[in-house]
């Protein structure tokens, strides 16, 4: 049913990301799927902030994120299921959906922590992925 899965993780919360990986691995084994892993670096916001940080700082941030994500993926994902590593920068839910569409994945796995009051008013990234993605979305708590 699901041949390709996109697993969106937060490298700043790798303990929770391990929990997400368990769900992805179970689903991948059940369906003979491959897993793509994505980490989204939040955008720097206003252009003035990005200009202040400079291109070198942005490259260092991306390189560090990719190295941490690669180390994590190597540790938790079976090699035969691993299909690719992706780093994006921007609005988290938008980047998840854009990559899912680009790769043509059948399912997206995202995490959601216990909702807080502000999440009911604003809407967390997981809820936005659920609302806007064309693919099936598994939200793991």
Per-residue pLDDT at 46: 52
Per-residue pLDDT at 112: 84
pTM: 0.88
The whole domain housing 68 covers 4-140
| Those residues with Cβ within 8 angstroms of residue 130's Cβ, 6 or more apart along the chain or in another chain | 137, 139
| pLDDT tens, residue by residue, 76-115 | 999 999 999 999 999 999 999 999 999 999 999 999 866 6
What CATH number corresponds to the domain at position 100?
A: 3.40.50.620
Per-residue pLDDT at 141: 82
Tokens representing 21 are: 């990986």
3-state secondary structure of 122: helix
Whether the per-residue pLDDT at 121 is higher than 70: the answer is no
Instruction: List 89's β-bridge partners, or say none.
Output: 41
Tokens representing 70 are: 């690669």
Looking at the structure of the chain, the number of domains it has is: 1
Phi, psi (5° rounding) for residue 136? -65, 145
Per-residue pLDDT at 56: 83
């Amino acid at each position: 049913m699901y041949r390709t899965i996109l697993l969106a993780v937060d490298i700043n919360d790798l303990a929770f990301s391990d929990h997400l990986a368990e769900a992805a691995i179970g689903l991948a084994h059940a369906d003979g799927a491959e897993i793509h892993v994505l980490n989204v670096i939040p955008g720097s916001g206003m252009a003035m902030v990005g200009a202040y940080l400079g291109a070198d700082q942005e490259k260092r941030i991306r390189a560090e994120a990719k190295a941490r994500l690669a180390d994590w993926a190597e540790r938790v994902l079976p090699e035969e299921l691993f299909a690719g590593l992706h780093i994006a920068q921007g609005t988290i839910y938008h980047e998840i959906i854009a990559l899912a569409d680009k790769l043509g994945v059948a399912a997206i796995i995202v995490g959601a922590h216990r909702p807080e009051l502000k999440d009911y008013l604003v809407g967390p990234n997981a809820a936005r992925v659920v609302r806007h993605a064309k693919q099936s979305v598994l939200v793991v708590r």
